Amino acid sequence: MDCLTSWGNHGMAGTPAGEKLTVHYKRKVGRPLCGDRIVVNSQTEQPWVEEILPRSSRFARADKRGRPQWIAANADLVAIIIAAEPAPSHDLIDRYLIACELLHIKPLLVLQKIDLDSAGVVELSARIAPYQALGYAAVQVSAHSGHGLEPLRAMLKQQRTLFTGQSGVGKSSLISALIPDLNLQTRALSVVTGKGTHTTSTACMYYLPGSTAAADAGSVIDTPGVWEYSLWQMSPAELAAGFVEFQPWLDQCRFRDCQHIDTPGCAVIKASGDGMIGDSRYKAFLRLAHEQDRYS
């Protein structure tokens, strides 16, 4: 079974066939994450989780102390939802892409609300072009008009996709457009969380249309919207590993413990100076490395 949502000491398990079961957790097993594959003992009056199966991936953000706060498990893809309104903060996209690189999950940039007649849409399209040049996939969609939904559906097919993004970017509207029976699935999960059917306060997983016990058409993990996404505490060297274009140079520095900021013989600094690494991305690295000082 899949863990569809976790709340306190209980959650909801489900199958692609649509069956849903409220389950409870035992301390010796632990609390599963949304998206975990679990073994459930349903032969008792109160079904409980017997085992959390090995995970292929986990996605996290930082808690207030800079520790990884694990949000969901087994995502094949992270859909990073951005929009011209509200526009992403200066380094938001970089933070998400770094997290995906370090956690080994494929990212997808999703520019939502492109139906808005706004110069901001054009500006944001230009802003994500350098990321596409680095090899990151991107798609432009409108949950309101339906533009781009079919290409997006094709990308999500047979994948477990985690949707994340700032509050107000239209993440929930986009998921509703992709999953016609979302309200039915949400009502079942709200019984467990005790929250309203349109409030995402904890990660919840929904099945895409066409999923059956025999064939999984894919699923979406909806995560709570955030005003800002923060990376957990890490060294500058660890942070640098999250920049895909830095990776060819990381083992060419003079010193093995190079921090890539002001160390003599740094191959990353030289590559940036030679134009092999974009100046804007290297400056983003410096800003994010400085940002880590707040955890010290």
pLDDT tens series, the chain, 296 aa: 999 999 889 999 987 777 888 999 999 999 999 999 999 998 888 899 999 999 999 999 999 999 999 999 999 999 999 999 999 988 999 999 999 999 999 999 999 999 987 888 999 999 999 999 999 999 999 999 999 999 999 999 999 999 999 999 999 999 999 998 777 677 666 655 555 444 456 899 999 988 765 667 899 999 988 888 999 999 999 999 999 999 999 999 999 999 999 999 999 999 999 999 999 999 999 999 999 988 87
All structural domains of the chain: 2-52 (2.40.50), 58-222 (3.40.50.300), 236-295 (1.10.40.50)
Concatenated DSSP letters for 61-76? EE-TTS-EEEEEE--S
Cα dist. 89→65, 142, 243 in Å? 21, 21, 18
Cis peptide before 86 (omega within 30 of 0): yes
pTM of the model: 0.92
Residue ranges of the alpha helices (H) in 78-181? 92-103, 119-133, 149-156, 171-178
CB-CB contact of 113 with 85 (8 Å):
yes
d(CA 27, CA 30) in angstroms, rounded, equals 5
